[in-house]
Structure 1
Amino acid sequence: MKILRTPDERFTGLADYAFAPHWMDIASGAGSALRIHSVDEGPRDAAPVLMMHGEPSWSYLYRHMVPALVAKGHRAVAPDLAGFGKSDKPSEQADYTYERHVKWMSDWLTATNLTGITLFCQDWGGLIGLRLVAAFPERFARVVVANTGLPVGTGRSEGFKQWLEFSQSVPELPVGEIVSMGTVRGLSAAEKAAYDAPFPDESYKACARKFPTLVPITPEHASVAENKEAWKVLERFDKPLLTAFSDSDPVSKGGERIFHDRVPGAKGQAHVTIAGAGHFLQEDKPAELASLIDALIRKTS
């Protein structure tokens, strides 16, 4: 496995992203190590809020939520998935599978030994993060699910179909522009550049290219069986689970209902719809989301 590492200078001077880096080496599964980066701010003795990003973003997505949560007394942790952000990037699309991602982040989670976790997950941060909840339910105190799901081969939305076709056909994947298009407010040129920063050229985008094809939307996809097993755990998960889907995301629209119906911990929760927000609702409504997480923790502690 050939592993690429984005030069540090690519991340110099990014707006609102002055966090100290934290590094963890984990096994790649191919005889080498992967260096995983995370933001980890706030008091070490506080229970962590674990914020997981998706495709094709990185922990920059949480740059406004991290200080807002720290100001409320929480520890805020935001890792970069392998293939994204400051984390190492295996160079070939074949290096990436759904199960490898789950294994990599499972190893990272156990190495960091986080417990009492409040998970906030969006996009692939949910496809992977909810698998972590199912694998380590004892580590999680509560979950906030936003614009994501845990698919088991039963189809796709029209919005996802369009994204899949675009992502596999465009000659160059315009990462910053993709994130901007997934917001209501639109991003500045500096913000788009920050999302492009992890990818000096197309060779660094193997995971960003591969991720859309890995979503198990048909019965023939890999990881359908594993996700079905994870749902069996979630159907017994009685700790608080709150949904906070946005009102302007064609990819995940309506996806909150399965959690309301199947997860015991979702019963009786004050589920919300985040108004005026797109797929990347962390860009549109970061203060509202941080307040929502804080309120859930205080209410259920």
Structure 2
Amino acid sequence: HGEPSWSYLYRHMIPILVEAGHRVIVPDLVGFGKSDKPTRMEDYTYARHVLWMQELLFVKLNLQNVTFFGQDWGGLIGLRLVGSDQGRFSRVVIGNTGLPTGEGQLTKAFMDWQKYSQTSPEFPIGDLINTATVRELQSDEIKAYYAPFPSDEYTAGARIFPSLVPTSNDNPASQDNKRAWTVLKEFTKPFLTAFSDSDPVSAGGEKDFIRDVPGAQGQPHIIIEGAGHFLQEDKPNELAQIINTFIASK
């Protein structure tokens, strides 16, 4: 999942994937959902998020034959996992995400979001998610996105996340992401992009993957219409079916 959501984001997709016979694992990142939430921003780093997921998925669960789907920070972390141990993965699907190295300009929408996350006196997580969907979320859905955070101090992980994205070469994660890209540029297993048409944050981000990842060649890449940044909220059925079809075809 991405920022500042949690596994609740996948509630409509999970039954469709399970019905197709798949085991579905949707972890809450540290600082989100029902996972622990350190209250000091300095406790959160990009490298730690990768390590936490490696410990869960590779060590504790020892997952193999993985079909990975990642959106937003789910992609930034998950693609690093692919880069660190690609043998565990059978295929990759990504939506509205990237793997920035600090080279090249990110979208204005992202840079504005990064600034807002650090300067706004308030950080209304549920309402922020509602602004990043095409459809209007119901009040109980908005409340569900507020629910993991009993007070503002527990939003430290969400607050700091945008600042951890590499926007320059001197970012601590820049070199690690470049190493992951080195692996991805030789990744020959099926690799699919499923971005949306109404997300200014990640607009055009699929092009680098389609161009540079060998496994992305000849795949049925799609731009999902009528979906914002959180395409799991706007088009969950379509996205789940895309994943099911992709698994069945390879």
Same fold (TM over 0.5): yes
CA deviation map 1:229-259 (0-9, x unaligned): 0100011110000000000000000000000
- For 2:117, the equivalent position in structure 1 comes to 167
The answer to whether 1:118 aligns with 2:118 is no
Partner of residue 163 from structure 2, selected from 188, 199, 213: 213
- For 2:248, the equivalent position in structure 1 comes to 298
The answer to whether 1:178 aligns with 2:128 is yes
Q: Give the Å deviation of 1:122.
A: 0.3
Q: Tell me the secondary structure at the aligned position of residue 247 of structure 2.
A: helix
Structure with greater contact order relative to length (CA < 8 Å, sep ≥ 6)? 2
Partner of residue 105 from structure 1, selected from 30, 48, 53: 53
Partner of residue 221 from structure 2, selected from 271, 277, 290: 271
One-letter amino acid of the structure 2 residue matched with residue 187 of structure 1: L
The answer to whether 1:71 aligns with 2:19 is yes
- For 2:9, the equivalent position in structure 1 comes to 61
Cα root mean square deviation, aligned: 0.7
Q: Give the Å deviation of 1:72.
A: 1.4
Q: Give the Å deviation of 1:221.
A: 1.2
- For 1:254, the equivalent position in structure 2 comes to 204
CA distance in 1, matches of 2:115, 2:209: 27
Partner of residue 145 from structure 1, selected from 60, 80, 94: 94
Partner of residue 230 from structure 2, selected from 280, 289, 294: 280
Partner of residue 135 from structure 1, selected from 81, 84, 94: 84
Q: What is the aligned length?
A: 248
Q: Tell me the secondary structure at the aligned position of residue 192 of structure 1.
A: helix
CA distance in 2, matches of 1:286, 1:78: 15
CA distance in 2, matches of 1:181, 1:139: 36
- For 1:41, the equivalent position in structure 2 comes to none
One-letter amino acid of the structure 1 residue matched with residue 125 of structure 2: V
TM-score w.r.t. the length of structure 2 is 0.98
Structure 1: segments with no counterpart, 5+ residues: 1-52
CA deviation map 1:10-63 (0-9, x unaligned): xxxxxxxxxxxxxxxxxxxxxxxxxxxxxxxxxxxxxxxxxxx01000000000
CA distance in 2, matches of 1:190, 1:183: 15
CA distance in 2, matches of 1:184, 1:244: 16
One-letter amino acid of the structure 2 residue matched with residue 92 of structure 1: R
CA deviation map 1:243-286 (0-9, x unaligned): 00000000000000000111000000010000000000000000
Q: Tell me the secondary structure at the aligned position of residue 78 of structure 1.
A: coil
The structure that is helix-richer by fraction is: 2
CA distance in 2, matches of 1:69, 1:122: 17
- For 1:245, the equivalent position in structure 2 comes to 195
One-letter amino acid of the structure 2 residue matched with residue 238 of structure 1: T
Structure 2: segments with no counterpart, 5+ residues: none
- For 2:239, the equivalent position in structure 1 comes to 289
Q: Give the Å deviation of 1:172.
A: 2.0
- For 2:149, the equivalent position in structure 1 comes to 199
